[in-house]
Amino acid sequence: MTDKGQNTLPADVYLSFVSSLYGNRQTLFVGMISHVITFAFVFAKTSDPFFLLWSAFVVLIWSLRAHGMRRFDRADKTALDMAGIRYWENWYNLGAVGTTFALGTACCYSLVVSRDAFAEIACISVTFGTMVSVVGRNYGSPRTVNYMVLAACLPIAAGFLALQDFYHAVLATLVLPFAMTTRSMANGVRTFLYENVLAARDLATIADRFDTALNNMPHGLFMLDADHRILVANRRACELLHLGSQDRLKDCHLDLVLRYGVRNTFLNLEQSKAILRQLQELLSGDRSRALLQVREGLYLEFTAARRENGGAVLIFEDVTARVRAENKILHMVRYDSLTGLPNRAYFSDLVQDALTERKKPGMVGFMVLDVDDFKHVNDMKGHITGDRLLCAISERLRRLATDKIVVSHLMGDEFILFFPNEANRRDLEARMRRFHEQLRGTYEFDGMTFLVSFSAGCVMVPSDEFRLDEMQIRADLALFETKSRAKGSVTVFEEEMDARYVDRQKLKEDLREALAADALSVAYQPMFVPDGTSIECCEALARWTHPERGAVAPNVFIQIAEEMGIVSEITRFMINRACADCATWPPHMSVSVNLSVQDLRGTSIIGVVTEALEAAGLAPHRLHLEVTESCLMEEPVKVQAILQELRARDITIAIDDFGTGYSSLSYLDQLPLDVIKIDRSFVRNIGEDARRFKLLRGTVNLSRELGLRIVIEGVETQEQLALINKYHCADLVQGYVFAAPMSPDALRDRYESLARKPGEARRRGRRVA
């Protein structure tokens, strides 16, 4: 009973065929009833008890088959293997073959034993009628068909042959084609259904894979027909747009989905139309992709592929993270990382937008703001505090500017502002000055309080004449004027500032050429002992005589040199010349040279001094180097190390203009000083102002306690000199009371004259005392 063909079937297909045998059970019941009725009628006709017994036999077989089918229903189909499926096929075969064998045997009995014509016709009719149903019901098992056909046809053929009649023998022969035809028909049905089952299974597999791929892809997908109705939507599309179930979208118009999909209200009509317009451009091929903000915080990028039937496949993905990253990068490109204000490049774009939006011509303003003494904050409180102060200033700028003034952080402690939309110059200037006044004041953060003022330069022009680069230059010129004349105020650009700027630039070039040509000169102002009898030291002062302008004031060209960053070249020139000149003076005389802030930013000054002393053959103690308090405020630790190195080489260190800085007394203890030069501001009016004179004497006493020599600068009158000598306030005196700065030749004549007339000098000193 082994059928090789069934073993080649996949288990799921084999199970579906065996399950078909146990289906449609009402036909079995109808068949059983028809068999019983037929045998009952035959029994009534022939009174043969065989047919009554055979009716009971048919009912018994049907009862056993019904019990087996109920057992099959309760069985766990998912746990069945090939052997288990074959068990249920064999169980069915027993009942099916038993039924057809009972029918075939009844036919044989009616032909051979009963020989009643009605019994023969009734039995053969019901048997062949049952055989016809074999094709439609039992196609799932070829063994069942084979066994049922043999069980029915063999007894009938044997009955015909047992009659030993030619015609009945012919009928017995014709039973074979009937059996073959029945078997062939069942096999054809089974093959057809088998192919369809496999095709349906493949289609189901493909559909499942497609559904899995479709619903697990990271992109949302809508398949649309030519009328923009949704044919297919995947799970991601529903998640991105909060659309709920996929099934509810089928045949919905895309417009309705976009308008009412997300909680029914996420897009208004205008937004929906705008998005549909962009999608229509996408679907028509006018654009390759469309980036849409479908709601707050959600950006979707759409692409479309057209279909031959006029529909389209719309694919979209959530690019919110990418858009945020791009916006962050754009913000980093456009805005200053410290203050959050627009940088200069983006400021230019904003200004251009503001000018474009103007409805009519008018005046516009441009302002440059500089925080006064901001470097002092960095030096005293640290750069972190300085940065926080800039942030606090930026916040107030943003608050005062609102959306009517364009603000930018230029660099360092500089800010630039653009003022649009003013009708006339007077109102614009008033507005800019009012803004400047509101910006200054107290700033508090981290438990610290800062009183901040701003120097500002501004320029005003008609809107159609505004050129940012040109305005920047003009505002910078005005800012320079503010810093030079009235720090903390506002200066409006005037045309003569431009001329002064051009003139200053020309002076810078001339100074550079003068340095290259060694065209500077040196003047010396002597420092006398208090009685005026001798000169102990001379301060070297740089002088520049311009070929066209004549003598240029030192405060002018030294400031220019600092702006140009070439003041160290002047220092090198002065040290070399001063050392060379001092080497020709009497041994008791020294020379003093001023150092700038730029000289102390690196250790190169040590090499410059060493080379100059060696070249001139001058003893190191005869060179005095003067530093101001402003030099000490920038990187004080580094400056202290440089001064200690110079002092270790036996060079004298002096602090100049003492008393004009922020914390003068602290430097007396911290720095390697030998000499303190008290500023002329302590000497002014000491005869009339007792308080000022007490301050001078207190500073002198403190300095003497620290072992410092004292030079008093700016002594101009005999009365001032008399007070200084009376209270022994100075070791050396420098000022016009004794001598103004002079040339090297005039200095030589002076100290030689003092050497020839010591008695006259002493008498002069006694008269002064």
Measure CA 721 to chain center: 70
CB-CB contact of 608 with 572 (8 Å): yes
Q: How far apart are CA 303 and CA 292, in angstroms?
A: 11
- Of residues 179 and 532, the one with the higher pLDDT is 532
Measure CA 19 to chain center: 63
pLDDT at 758: 61
The residue count of the chain comes to 769
pLDDT at 269: 63
Q: What DSSP designation does 48 have?
A: -
Residue 202 scores a pLDDT above 80: no
Residue 164, SS3 per DSSP? coil
Q: Give the model's confidence band at 262: pLDDT under 50 very low, under 70 low, under 90 confident, else very high.
A: very low
CA angle 443, 448, 454 (to 5 degrees): 30
Residue 729: φ, ψ to 5° = -85, -10
505 C-beta neighbours (distance < 10 Å), count: 11
Q: Give the model's confidence band at 267: pLDDT under 50 very low, under 70 low, under 90 confident, else very high.
A: low
CB-CB contact of 622 with 590 (8 Å): yes
The domain 339-493 having CATH identifier 3.30.429.10: the answer here is no
Above pLDDT 90, what percent of the chain?
23
CB-CB contact of 140 with 190 (8 Å): yes
pLDDT at 534: 93
pLDDT in tens, 683-705: 888 878 888 888 888 888 888 88
Q: Give the model's confidence band at 190: pLDDT under 50 very low, under 70 low, under 90 confident, else very high.
A: low
Q: Give the model's confidence band at 17: pLDDT under 50 very low, under 70 low, under 90 confident, else very high.
A: confident
CB-CB contact of 68 with 62 (8 Å): no
What crossing angle do the helices spanning 82-109 and 11-21 adopt, rounded to 10°? Answer: 30
User: CA separation (Å) from 603 to 595, 600, 609, 642, 704?
Assistant: 13, 7, 11, 7, 30
Measure CA 50 to chain center: 97
CB-CB contact of 508 with 732 (8 Å): no
Least confident of 129-138, 312-321, 714-723, 755-764: 755-764
User: CA separation (Å) from 700 to 123, 338, 479, 678, 686?
Assistant: 150, 47, 40, 9, 14
| Mean pLDDT, all residues of the chain | 83
Mean pLDDT of 133-154: 75
Task: Domain ranges for the chain, please list them.
Answer: 4-202, 217-325, 339-493, 518-768
Q: Give the model's confidence band at 565: pLDDT under 50 very low, under 70 low, under 90 confident, else very high.
A: confident
Confirm whether 217-325 and 518-768 share one CATH topology. Answer: no
Q: How far apart are CA 85 and CA 198, in angstroms?
A: 18
CA angle 52, 56, 62 (to 5 degrees): 145
* 77 contacts: CB under 8 Å, gap ≥ 6: 15, 19
Which residue, chain included where needed, has tokens 């309705």? Answer: 256
Q: How far apart are CA 83 and CA 6, in angstroms?
A: 11
Residue 533 scores a pLDDT above 50: yes
Containing H/E element for 717?
none
Beta strands in 603-706 (DSSP E): 623-627, 652-658, 675-678
CB-CB contact of 734 with 525 (8 Å): yes
pLDDT at 661: 56
Beta-carbon-side half-sphere exposure of residue 713 (alpha carbons within 13 Å): 19
Q: Give the model's confidence band at 166: pLDDT under 50 very low, under 70 low, under 90 confident, else very high.
A: confident
Residue 540 scores a pLDDT above 90: yes
Give the residues across from 317 on adjacent strands. Answer: 301
Q: For 245-261, give one letter per residue: b (16+ CB within 10 A) or e.
A: ebeebeebebbebbbeb
Least confident of 290-304, 354-368, 564-578, 588-602: 290-304
Residue 219 scores a pLDDT above 80: yes
The CATH-assigned architecture of domain 518-768 is: Alpha-Beta Barrel (3.20)
User: Which fold is adopted by the domain 217-325?
Assistant: Beta-Lactamase (3.30.450)
pLDDT at 578: 95
Beta strands in 229-361 (DSSP E): 230-233, 290-295, 298-306, 312-318
Residue 82 scores a pLDDT above 60: yes
Q: How far apart are CA 759 and CA 737, in angstroms?
A: 19
pLDDT at 23: 75
Residue 415 scores a pLDDT above 90: yes
